[in-house]
Structure 1
């Protein structure tokens, strides 16, 4: 675990994701984004779907890869980040060293969050990154054996504050607990200043996606700012 996480401390992990229907959808494009991120100084990559993970791992084999698979399971539509063991196994087989999954306290398709974390670790032998939304879900994930936390889902569940920017208060509260696992700040980090403040709040490292790899979102923010001044 130290071998994988230690080089990430204080650094930037870039999330290279595009869903079907988005202009940049496609594993070849995601691999090129990962190459650009590496050239810019990224220390790791976060990616969605086995096909994108495999392509990115081939393009930047030296960078640790946080893999996930967004799948909507009927009856559990809100829990879609690696919701079942089968998705986690596929992500591991595609080459991800760390498997990211929804670790909120909401019902999961195959039992509790704790059961999923334990099953993923047992069946894949990979590290587990718990995407959490609150202090309670973070502590429960650690108790279940998660190897790291990310504030990915704060702001996207009813039990978390609905903020325009990152939930730095959650980062600070968790960091103050002197956790024994790395804490990654993620979610609505729109600027280098946001990223810097996340580290200052106590994050181990920072994960940024849309502000770097989603041109449509970036354009929307510029357009919205211009309309405000019109």
Structure 2
């Protein structure tokens, strides 16, 4: 899929993040591929998956695939090194999602050096998972293609909001020219629409669509509140 086509196909659309945590019953590449295929039936414009095996399992889907590799115990664990990023691209991802913060990376490279190294090895687009406006500005200067709000509320620079960080979306839209993918704590269709209205080019939703344990717990919590 050509890079220009990827951006065009994602613009204004919903990306569904199909991920399961280690140790969960759904933590299996074939299961995640089936979840992704179901999301496509609902109209998903793209799919986001974690792990090399999962990326390979969905690489042939007829929509852009955003791949990442969560690894390590440190603060930077979303595709934390150039080696990880190259592996994600080689597995078939159209877009490589990497930690887009200004924090030290596992291999000692800067974000700009990571972007440059990935450009030399692949034609995949690069999405920077950011936690603040300053992250987004630095990521744009580093040469990425898409700015994500994925890490808002998780890096210590912004307070974690109950829903999507709409203010951050607006601030990034004011300061940056790259397309923004709203991601993080988007739990309802109304919140997804609000993210687009705030200036996002596309929206990524994971837990509220693809994580049964969390969805079930929301219902259980409400029911228990009534029973009390």
Match of 1:199 among 190, 196, 200: 196
Partner of 1:158: 156
Is 1:72 equivalent to 2:72 in the alignment?
yes
Aligned length: 224
**Deviation of the 1:123 alpha carbon:** 2.4
Aligned residue number for residue 111 of structure 2: 113
- Helix, strand or coil for the counterpart of 1:203? coil
Question: 1:189 corresponds to which residue?
Answer: 186
Deviations 1:142-192 (A, max 9, x none): 000011100000011111212221101000111223x33110000010111
SS at match of 2:17: strand
Q: Which residue of 2 aligns with 1:145?
A: 143
1:123 aligns with 121
Q: What are the ranges of 5 or more consecutive residues in structure 2 without an aligned counterpart?
A: none
Q: What is the TM-score when the length of structure 2 is the normalising length?
A: 0.94
1:14-93, aligned counterparts within 5 Å? 14-58=16-60, 60=61, 62-72=62-72, 77-93=74-90
Structure 1: give runs of 5+ residues left out of the alignment.
none
Question: How far is 1:220 from its partner?
Answer: 1.2
Question: 2: CA distance between counterparts of 1:17 and 1:121?
Answer: 26
Secondary structure of the structure 2 residue equivalent to 1:211: helix
SS at match of 1:207: strand
How far is 1:226 from its partner?
2.2
- 1:214 shift after superposition: 0.3
Distance 1:183 1:122 in 2: 24
Alpha-carbon distance in 1 for matches of 2:18, 2:151: 17
Cα contact 2:9–2:64 (8 A) shared by 1? no
Q: Distance in 1 between matches of 2:164 and 2:219?
A: 19
Which of 124, 130, 133 is the aligned partner of 1:132?
130
Residue 20 (structure 1) shift: 2.0
Provide, for residues 129-154 of structure 1, a one-character-per-residue CA deviation record: whole Å limited to 9, x for no partner: 00000000000000000111000000
TM (norm. structure 1) is 0.93
Q: CA deviation at 1:44?
A: 0.3
Question: Offset of 1:119 from its aligned partner?
Answer: 1.8
Query: Over residues 48-107 of structure 1, what are the superposed CA-to-partner deviations in whole Å (9 max), with x where a residue is unaligned?
Result: 11110111123x2x110000000106xxx1110000111111111111010000011111
Find the residue that maps to 1:176 and give its secondary structure: helix
